[in-house]
Structure 1
Amino acid sequence: MAQQHDAEGVLSRATRMLRSFSADDESLSATDLAHRTGLARTTAHRLAIELSGLGMLDRHADGRYTIGMGLWEIGELAPVSMRLRERALPHMLRLYEASSEVVHVAVLSGDDPTTAEALYVARVTGPHSIPTLSRMGGRHPLHTTGVGKALLAAQGDAWLDVFFRRTLERETVHSVIDERQLRAEIAEARERGFATTRQEMTLGNVSIAAVIPPTADLPPAAVGVVTHLARADERRLAPLVMTAARDIASSLESIAP
């Protein structure tokens, strides 16, 4: 029993170490890892070396560590990569070609509505697309992103009641954090089939998104575009986004187990 608890402890420490990395901190030293995990430096150093040997971390000539190719290889086996992203990409490319805007697919991450977020699993962009904060593997709030609001609109009222127990933070001065207003926007999104955000995540950006009809064994997902406020033609973009959502679902159904 003691061995079991010890093994669980090692796994927990290793997970905390791997989660110490971020888009802003791709490379960390053993000292950095010790500080971020609260582990003793000798423990962090020993665990980092072991993770490197397993391919979970890569150790570089300067002694710093990055996420390893072995971890990436395992991650690519996840259904959101092998099924959702691969089946969605052709339709995302068509949506990009029709709009010239950034195209995202995000999934609902987290079973607890009070901590759930939009996890971005696919992205298509080009030379004329507007810069965005999103990246593959990145997370953003549900209430300030187009894909996030589309995911909220797909949830039941009981789920939303729990969601609204959380404190909603502003990302910009335009972020909607009032429960009554956000519920009204969710209801509107359900009625018309797509959700929008206007400068709620990034100033000057508008997002239009639609939920992808559910597929067995995949988390709730949504597809959306992000455009500049000056060219946010909702009447043109919304039908394109909704068509992409339906087409992605059809492609997923064709390979359903």
Structure 2
Amino acid sequence: MQIDLTGKRAVVTGSTAGIGLAIATGLAQAGAEVVVNGRTEERVQNAIATIRMAAPAAILSGIASDLGTAEGAAKLAAGAAEADILVNSVGAALFKSFDDLTDEDWLFMYQLNVLSGVRLTKHYLPGMVERGWGRIVFISSESALNPPKEMIDYGMTKAAQLAVARGVAELAARTGVTVNSVLPGPTRSEGFGAVLEGIARQTGQSIEQVEKGFLEQNRPTSLLGRFSTTEEIANMVVYVCSQQASATNGSALRVDGGVVRSIT
């Protein structure tokens, strides 16, 4: 299968590191023009340089904005007024116990993980519908289906993304615009990697040992038996954004290493 996204413009939120960066790189390699987004100009420019090494001919631009605020979403929308592809990848996890989560923590997680995608979808969807083609992808998580006791707030936001994505898919039915969710499992991304590295330093273990221990204790149903790479997640996203995926719509697509014990 040859995926060619030449002539398509993609906005990928939270694309300066981790899964978002891998997605932006994969889309650029497929020929799409990519708009990179992160909190700071330095991180945005560093990400663009990284992507350019993998896709030298890519058309790349960047917009620094904090998507945890309405103002930040508006800044991104103003800087990239139109898009054929929107990947709502930005997100955070606080790694706090349920008892320690404050009201502010819950609101922060909802604003960043959920409302950022809602705001940008509202902006880009009408243009996609008018042109008769578009791809919107929400990067959810297996935690949406398996709410983790150690990250209840995170699981809540990821489940909310599934509801939003399916509802918007219904809204955009038969327009040529598809709206899907992709659900990674445990992935060696920047954020999670930093947590694992901290545990490794404290315990004197290797990263591989920490990952194995995490899976055994927290995700024992994993069929993969290791953390996914960010590129493995990006591969699914690039496909979902392609012309070849035109019949995939309103779906929650798991790239979770088999963590969720379900045949649906």
TM-score (norm 2): 0.26
* Bigger relative contact order, structure 1 or 2 (CA pairs below 8 A, ≥6 apart): 2
TM-score (norm 1): 0.26
